[in-house]
Chain A
Amino acid sequence: MPRLSSENFSCPPPGRARSATKIFIGAYLLCQLTLPLVYYFRDDKSDERFAWRMFSAVYFEQKNCGVSLAVWRPGAAMRVLSKEEVEATIPSGWTEFLTRDYAPVRTKFLRRYCETHPEFAEVQLIRVCKATAAGTRSTMNRTGLICRTGKLIRTHESL
């Protein structure tokens, strides 16, 4: 019967094996430190994955946001969809990600909308966030997709 002798330690013997293990440990730690740090240096603060920011300020601010959808037919005026229409349009479970302004979800959703609604020339996702504290202002982000060219237009304004 195998026992706890020197044969089943997971300590590599000195030499190449140990050096390789040390290099692996160093690289792994570097990744674990850099991955969350990257978040603090990038512009897009909406995506907090892998940054260990549980219950962050961003998360709570995003809870005060809502999304709506506007569409254009060629040669016609913009039409903002009703709340019911928006609920029926956004796939189940994904509203949260659109209100949190996740770029990959936003882009994929708009592209899919253009594909499934070829009658529209442009579709725009409008995200409004209410002010959360005194001295701050409500904000509005618009992300539009021109269906024909696939060009994304993004604007941000304080209300």
Chain B
Amino acid sequence: MSRRRRQGKKPPRKPSTSPDSITSSSPWERFWFGPVAAVRPYLLMKAVLLVLAFDVWLVRVPKGWKVGVDGFNVAHFQWLDALQPLPAPGLYVGVQLLVGIVSLVCAFIEAALWLRILLALLHTYSWAMSLLDNYQHHYFLSLVLGAFIFFPRIRGNDLYPAKTDQPANREERTNAASGRANISSWAYVLLGATTSIVYFFTALNKLEPSWRAELIIGKLVRDQNLLGSVESWFSDLGVVREQFWQWMALSVFTVEVFLGASYLLALRQDGERRLWRSVLGGLAFVTALVFHGIVNEFFLALRIGWFSYYMVALAGIYLLPASMLWQVGKMVTWPYRRVASHAHSLLASLNTAPKLSMTLTVAGSLAMIILSGAVGLALDLPGASNVGFLTAFALLSILLFALARREHRDAVRYIVAAGLANLILCLALTQSTVRFDYYDAVGTHLRERKNLRAAADAAEKARRYLPSYLR
């Protein structure tokens, strides 16, 4: 064992190649390992993880009552069916709550590799355990979280260093001065390519005869009573009905192909800055915003969970020019950087009194651990108390391990982040209709199954958990 390791210090990371040196490599290498504005992977992780936490809590938890009910379940994969016991609502809801907590922890701090792997696995299991959770974007999110495992670890303070911190070397000084650091991130590029593949296959589906013959698009639009006046306006111009709907179907196909191609082109925009790339990226972002955010979500009300929000976030981060994202990043990271800076100063001042520092750390950590356990108990949802105990146990283990190693700074970050995540979980579930929706659906199901006493209990719980602003 090396002397450095014996002293408890991490060995210096092996310097890897700078993205600029990649320019001399093959086009294939330049594509995957070329420069990417550091703010892109940073913002992408934060945005997706924040949306994911609320998605699983607010959208998926209320549907958990169905899983394993009536003693029947089919998993997404046969091997999983053979491995897992019959899932129950407690397992499904518990896993969703846990996914949200871990997701927020990863969003709040520069999470370690093991936590990112845990999040990707937990999320994948959260939908794979039952075919009842069959949204295709849940599978897509597993691909996103899988890519996050290999994303570079970036902190807000790395991107926007405080003025008082003088960069150590020339490269850092240049980056800090320009405020435009580029990194190499093949996982970020791979995720962009994956998104592009998704768009191309979605477009391929629109080439089928039923789509071109207005059967599908016509049904989607007519169900919402939309475009009727536009159709009659075109009809007055002499455009026959079939022709009109073929144009509509073709427009969906064109938009999806355009977005797929834009993602691929945008992946090189930080390496080869060209005006046309920025213009194309901006245009593609507006297209994605209109397509996902306005048409799909509001006009057609396609009821596909929060898929549109994820896709708009992805489009913004992949397609918009880096200069714009640096400004956005500066604004959204400002509160975090302020808090981190104060915490840093506080820890520095406490370092002068090690005993007091340790006492405060342990007391604060224990308070957070108790809070995590209490939230699980207070939520009154199947699986929630188990999640509370599990979280508290995991945090306590982290604390004890850190104390044994006499290195508690990292542990405190995890404990504070998890405590905060639990607090947000508690607020999200108590101030929304999640628990009402859950028990209302349970009550309806039990009434259908003629289990009237249990149905009445569920209805009573539903009434109890209806938020006060809806009473």
Could you list which residues of chain A lie within 8 angstroms of chain B, going by C-beta atoms?
1-14, 18, 21-22, 25, 28-29, 32-33, 36, 49-57, 60-61, 87-88, 91-94, 97, 102, 104-105, 108-109, 112, 132-133
CB atoms of B159 and A4 under 8 A apart: yes
Given A3-B175, A10-B150, A25-B186: A52 and B211 interface contact (C-beta under 8 Å): no
CB atoms of A9 and B208 under 8 A apart: no
CB atoms of B197 and A10 under 8 A apart: no
Could you list which residues of chain B lie within 8 angstroms of chain A, going by C-beta atoms?
12-19, 22, 28-29, 32-33, 38, 66, 69-72, 74, 76, 78, 131-132, 134, 136, 139, 143, 150-155, 157-159, 161, 165, 167-169, 171-172, 175-176, 181, 183-187, 190, 193-194, 197-198, 201-202, 205, 208-211, 213, 215-216, 219-220, 302, 304, 445, 448-449
CB atoms of B197 and A33 under 8 A apart: yes
28 CB contacts below 8 A, A to B, read A1-B165, A4-B159, A4-B183, A6-B18, A6-B171, A7-B12, A9-B152, A10-B150, A10-B183, A11-B16, A12-B33, A18-B33, A22-B29, A32-B143, A49-B76, A49-B134, A50-B139, A54-B202, A54-B205, A54-B304, A55-B205, A56-B216, A61-B210, A91-B72, A94-B74, A94-B132, A132-B215, A133-B215
Nearest 8 CB-CB pairs, A to B?
A11-B184, A57-B210, A91-B70, A91-B72, A52-B201, A4-B181, A93-B66, A10-B152
A33, closest chain B residue (CB): B197
B197, closest chain A residue (CB): A32
A28, closest chain B residue (CB): B190
CB atoms of A56 and B205 under 8 A apart: yes
- A86 CB to nearest chain B CB (Å): 13
User: Which residues from B are CB-within-8-Å of A93?
Assistant: 66, 69, 132
User: Which residues from A are CB-within-8-Å of B183?
Assistant: 4, 8-11
**In the complex, A7 Cα to B181 Cα: how many Å?**
13
CB atoms of A8 and B18 under 8 A apart: no
**Beyond A53-B202, A91-B70, A108-B72, 15 extra complex contacts between A and B, CB < 8 Å:** A5-B169, A5-B172, A6-B171, A9-B185, A10-B184, A11-B185, A12-B17, A32-B197, A51-B201, A52-B197, A53-B205, A91-B71, A92-B448, A93-B132, A112-B72
CB atoms of B17 and A11 under 8 A apart: yes
User: Which residues from A are CB-within-8-Å of B28?
Assistant: 22
CB atoms of A4 and B215 under 8 A apart: no
**In the complex, A55 Cα to B183 Cα: how many Å?**
38
CB atoms of A4 and B175 under 8 A apart: yes
**In the complex, A3 Cα to B17 Cα: how many Å?**
15
B132, closest chain A residue (CB): A93
CB atoms of B184 and A9 under 8 A apart: yes
**How many residue pairs between the two chains, A and B, have CB atoms under 8 Å in the bound complex?**
169
**In the complex, A94 Cα to B70 Cα: how many Å?**
10
CB atoms of B131 and A3 under 8 A apart: no
User: Which residues from A are CB-within-8-Å of B205?
Assistant: 51-56
Given A57-B211, A104-B74: A52 and B33 interface contact (C-beta under 8 Å): no
**In the complex, A37 Cα to B176 Cα: how many Å?**
46
A59, closest chain B residue (CB): B216
- B393 CB to nearest chain A CB (Å): 31
**In the complex, A102 Cα to B158 Cα: how many Å?**
50
- A101 CB to nearest chain B CB (Å): 13
Given A25-B186, A36-B201, A57-B210: A6 and B131 interface contact (C-beta under 8 Å): no
User: Which residues from B are CB-within-8-Å of A60?
Assistant: 210, 215-216, 219
- A107 CB to nearest chain B CB (Å): 9
CB atoms of B302 and A92 under 8 A apart: no
B171, closest chain A residue (CB): A5
Q: Which of B70, B151, B158, B448 contacts A4 (CB 8 A)?
A: B158
Given A3-B167, A56-B205: A32 and B16 interface contact (C-beta under 8 Å): no
- B199 CB to nearest chain A CB (Å): 8
Q: Which of A21, A29, A104 contacts B78 (CB 8 A)?
A: A104
User: Which residues from A are CB-within-8-Å of B66?
Assistant: 92-93
CB atoms of B74 and A49 under 8 A apart: no
B22, closest chain A residue (CB): A11
CB atoms of A10 and B201 under 8 A apart: no
Q: Which of B78, B171, B197, B208 contacts A56 (CB 8 A)?
A: B208
CB atoms of A10 and B158 under 8 A apart: no
CB atoms of B172 and A92 under 8 A apart: no
Given A28-B190, A53-B202, A55-B216: A105 and B168 interface contact (C-beta under 8 Å): no
User: Which residues from B are CB-within-8-Å of A9?
Assistant: 16-19, 152, 183-185
User: Which residues from B are CB-within-8-Å of A112?
Assistant: 72
Q: Which of B158, B208, B211, B213 contacts A133 (CB 8 A)?
A: B213
- B171 CB to nearest chain A CB (Å): 6
**In the complex, A151 Cα to B181 Cα: how many Å?**
64
CB atoms of B172 and A52 under 8 A apart: no
CB atoms of B186 and A10 under 8 A apart: yes
CB atoms of A10 and B159 under 8 A apart: no
Given A4-B172, A97-B131, A133-B213: A92 and B17 interface contact (C-beta under 8 Å): no
User: Which residues from B are CB-within-8-Å of A21?
Assistant: 32, 186
- B127 CB to nearest chain A CB (Å): 10
CB atoms of A13 and B215 under 8 A apart: no
- A145 CB to nearest chain B CB (Å): 15
- A102 CB to nearest chain B CB (Å): 7
User: Which residues from B are CB-within-8-Å of A94?
Assistant: 72, 74, 132
- A26 CB to nearest chain B CB (Å): 9
User: Which residues from B are CB-within-8-Å of A105?
Assistant: 74, 131
